[in-house]
Structure 1
Amino acid sequence: MMKVLIVDDEKTIRETLKEILEEEGYQVFTEEVGSKVVERVKELQPNLIILDLFLPGISGMEVLKKLNEEGLTEKIPVVIVSGHGTVETAVKAMKLKAYDFIEKPIKYEKFLSAVEGALKREVKLENEKTVSELTNLPLKRAKEEFEKAYIKEILKKFNGDLKRAAAFMEIDISNLYRKLNKYGFHQ
């Protein structure tokens, strides 16, 4: 299941975005204090971060800068949300490797589109990394590593539903169980 961390000091926004994303099948975590974000990101390893720019204490822009300095924005896309954004602010956020910038009040369709786009980017980066790593392995091991990554992605896609995953992969469920055991997946 894809994990999303929402960082916003306004409880109503946090709860609204959380509800929207949970209805779409995401596992959602929230944070309201900017100074705790880097630690939470390392702990949770989310697939996406939704980040407000105006937070008490340390600003969202400072949080984005720290995430970038730690190399976390290379692996985890960040969607900025702000009610006080300017073109300069958006440009600055993009230079710090934010994936997208959404103005408040947040429009439902635009928000979901940004989330889906950011997560597709994240999967694409993961797959590109896997391909470059696999080319340095002997063929048998590369095939096994690819199959393991493929099964992991399919299970994510179907939220762990083994019957649907097996049907999608066009294999019987007992074969899928065997592969899960072989690769150390614990259901």
Structure 2
Amino acid sequence: MAGRKILVIDDSKVIRVRVREMLPPGNFDVLEAKDGKEGLELVHQEYPNLIMLDFLLPKLSGWDVFQQIQAHSELRKIPLVLMSGRKEEVTEKIPEPFEYFEFIEKPFEKKQLIEAIKSAFTKANKTREPLPSAASKAAPAQAETPTTSADAAKIKALEQRMAKMQAEMNAS
């Protein structure tokens, strides 16, 4: 099993495969989700080291997935690259500059993808408060639970894997 997990949430199989093919060769486990609901479930189950999230998705929109991730203090530490062919739909909901995640406009080339991933890791390390809109719209079922020692160990391992992945991305 690969050491680092990249979750690609996109309803287009072409985009999911393209992202997988563009990643530098290495010890990556690329997980795929075809809709927002499946993607959010994988985020909670797998705690990936990086999330590539399409903004327009069936079942649960990328905007809804984004808000739920941002409402959870541990999940929002995961580097995030938001993808869309229509940037104006993103900026309607999230004003620029994008401080804590990276945005990449479809279609994109390998160099753009690698730069977006590197930037997402840098932005994810910034200290921040929850987004008011995300916190206020989170359903009670999505409320944060106290961090257990098992969660803390998972978080520490995730942070170590993120640092290692960041170093590999910087080397490419």
Normalising by structure 2, we get a TM-score of: 0.63
8 Å CA contact 1:73–1:98 kept in 2: the answer is: no
For the pair 1:89 / 2:87, whether they are aligned, the reply is no
Give aligned-pair identity as a percent: 32
SS at match of 1:23: coil
**Structure showing greater Rg:** 1
**RMSD between aligned alpha carbons?**
3.1
Aligned with 1:41 (options 39, 43, 46): 43
User: When the two structures are aligned, how many residues end up with a matched partner?
Assistant: 132
**5+ unaligned residues in a row in structure 2: which ranges?**
127-155, 166-172
Structure 2 Cα separation of the partners of residues 15 and 42 of structure 1:
22
Q: Which fold has the larger relative contact order, with Cα–Cα distance below 8 Å and residues 6 or more apart in sequence?
A: 2
Query: In the TM superposition, what are the counterparts of 1:12-31 in structure 2 within 5 Å?
Result: 12-21=14-23, 23-31=25-33
Task: Report the equivalent of 1:79.
Answer: 81
Q: For residues 90-143 of structure 1, what are the alpha-carbon distances to aligned partners after superposition, in whole Å with 9 as ceiling and x for unaligned? A: 363468975111111112211111112323555x56xxxxxxxxxxxxxxxxxx
**5+ unaligned residues in a row in structure 1: which ranges?**
126-147, 158-187
Structure 1 Cα separation of the partners of residues 38 and 99 of structure 2:
20
CA 1:85–1:156 in structure 2 vs 1: closer, same or farther (change >3 Å)?
Answer: closer
Aligned with 1:101 (options 69, 93, 103): 103
Structure 2 Cα separation of the partners of residues 24 and 117 of structure 1:
19
Structure with the larger helix share: 1
Structure 2 Cα separation of the partners of residues 116 and 27 of structure 1:
18
